[in-house]
């Protein structure tokens, strides 16, 4: 069993309902150990869209990172996710942040998530439920990474 951390986000439709439905679906791929508070967050890269609701889930699973990614993409599809515009609006987005202490750099699968250390909307909920989770490349905890971010993007508990 591996402890993984997933980032979930939604900015289309019933954002909270979308997150809760996705969290419920995660029980098919492992055991949900913890769920952060929900955070309302300003869009980061593509600014001209609705604000997101984000959270982080701690999941224990026997799946490899590749199997987990396939399962997460299946959940997104089953929930009606359409990939129309990169970084654009979406009813659900589920990303693997950390998968044990694995470092994976393959086409379509990068663990740890390559931008997580720069994203307050990821680090705030991660630090809430796993402040001592270590980034296997930077060797810094979620709390340390969050504290090292410059002021900027708006992230507030919902």
pTM of the entire structure? 0.94
| Residue 124: C-alpha distances to residues 5, 16, 37 (Å) | 13, 18, 10
The residue extents of the domains of the chain are 2-157
The whole-number pLDDT of residue 46 equals 74
* pLDDT tens readout for residues 61-102: 999 999 999 999 999 999 987 777 677 688 999 999 999 999
Q: Give the helix/strand (H/E) hosting 2.
A: strand 2-10
Three-state DSSP at 25 gives helix
* pLDDT tens readout for residues 110-145: 999 999 999 999 999 999 999 999 999 999 999 999
Q: DSSP secondary structure string, 82-144? A: ---STT---S-EEEEEEETT--EEETTEEES-TTGGG-HHHHHHHHHH-TTPBPTTT--BHHH
Q: Which CATH number fits domain 2-157: 3.30.70.560, 3.60.110.10, 3.90.226.10, 3.30.1360.120?
A: 3.30.70.560
Active site residues: 81, 90, 93, 95
């Amino acid at each position: 069993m591996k402890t993984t951390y997933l980032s979930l986000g939604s900015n289309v439709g019933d954002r909270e309902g979308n997150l809760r439905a996705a969290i419920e679906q995660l029980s098919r791929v492992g055991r949900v150990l913890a769920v952060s508070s929900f955070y309302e967050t300003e869009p980061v890269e593509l600014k001209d869209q609705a604000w997101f609701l984000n959270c982080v889930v701690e999941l224990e699973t026997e799946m490899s990172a590749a199997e987990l990614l396939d399962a997460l993409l299946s959940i997104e599809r089953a929930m009606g996710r359409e990939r129309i515009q990169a970084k654009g609006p979406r009813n659900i987005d589920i990303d693997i942040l950390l998968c044990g202490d694995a470092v994976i750099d393959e086409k379509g699968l990068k663990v740890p998530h390559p931008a997580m250390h720069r994203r307050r909307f990821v680090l705030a909920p991660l630090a809430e439920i796993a402040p001592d989770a270590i980034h296997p490349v930077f060797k810094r905890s979620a709390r340390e990474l969050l504290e090292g971010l410059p002021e900027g993007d708006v992230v507030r508990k919902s």
